[in-house]
A and B are shown apart, each in its own frame.
Chain A
């Protein structure tokens, strides 16, 4: 293994606890949220202990130090994806990041009285917005809303039986009417790693804005915004060892510059009069109100931890574990993998169904043996419908998992099969 899992585990105190009658915790739900190493917890606590203050204001030393901590976090998280700090907007989570992007279109498309909307963000009847059939609800529902409010039409790229995007009709789905292409980099339910570069290039070919939901890729592999070719990219802190309450939206400078604000109020203004206001330049334009300073600091500590391990080693470690799990799941009678069953262009999230046993019941058996997995539709209900299943069980591994964890999970699946006679 490329990562010393025993050593990594020492940094994650939660993995020492037991669950359900003294069972060792086997945490295979990192696609939902990752666990946090001590240094992330410490970074957050240290911020509150030593320099907590309101950022970007206040004429005192604490305010200076707090601002420095916040902006240093921004710089580190931007660098983590090959970007510069002025291109990184902090939000409360990736869902908000994607809504920020979606509302740029809605807000540019409704009459504002000033007529100064950037035409790249104005959509209406006859225009199309393209997503995929494997989007998380967070990258689907906001676009449904944009369409409902502006009269634009939603289109999507389908998913084949192996959980891969159907790209044969790419040029038909993304055409001259397309104004937005917003796609998931790595599916949270199927594990599929999508050819985002291809989709972004096609988006730009037709003059559309290209957006990537990178929640499941940034924590698990080296991601560079320039290599992806996106205009905007959203991801979250809590899936990459950071705390909850912090999300990121990276944007190409000229794209961010053309976007109207989403949430308005303090901190995001340039000047304010009684009857109108002007807005600050990005990224501050999109950070109204007191920001999540401690969470940003924690997320940056998470990024630092991952950088120290090395993202290529993280990816290789997960690739090996995923291969181990896929091989064994494929060999289990009555188990069907929902998503790519070969260990190629896919991440560590593995969804499966067990014949005759609902995912909830499978999950209950795993839980009984200390294994934490996610069951349900994984906020990708249309994807479940595509595969004709009401729900799946999903196990997702990360830097602190090893093959012994996978074995415990597989044993629990067999126990559920025995119990239900499936």
Chain B
């Protein structure tokens, strides 16, 4: 019923491939419900699962939806029947049987079945992972990301994007700095809150490589709407290669870009591994140019976007901690942005 398509969500390309409309793949007899079933939404859709958890939940949803639709039509059809079609007395016995049958027996059977199914699904969704652990920390309004490799290697620090191996279950540890956030990649699975003072655990098992969008789901202040991230699912071997590249230190070219970075004190907040800049206040920039999006999933990773962001972050993300650098000339901004883009 559901059409499986490979989705690519990449802010780098500017506009995402627009496939939001209803894609009706069914023939006429399928009707509206099936039409709905055929529309799996965009890159942030829970109805376009790319992981076992999301797929299981989507399956539960479709079954519940069909049952709910039948029940709704039956109950309201009955209501319409007794008020409009046949507003004359019907035997009391039938009416009372209806209360017991419809009010107690039927719901007991249906809810009992549903509950058993739903409860049994819970442990599956929180099954332990296959080795890799990703730590994600919520900040206002961006994400700290840290990979703890399965082989016990040193943690690899990154930010604002998670990459996961397909076909494996990855443990995810969630925490938050100041306020509550919630980590959610709909195409891969359900969400989990990130609560200051606690470490919450979840796991995800992506099956299909691709880029999926996620977003903070718990209201976290002024720019809650602008706290997103991309989850990039890679085939397992590609993932391993990527992770070792990500673990490597940056090799930033010398030149005016580096000078600007130093002069403007960017290193006071941001770290670039392999350089003298190791501050942990803002997102780690070691391989920033290699990410698929900028400013926590809200801008494409382009020179122009990056320059605009550095000039005035508050205009793009109200309340952002990063100060604006509007005293820099457009050329300087471009130079700095180009230099950062080279950190891949």
- The answer to whether A and B interact is no
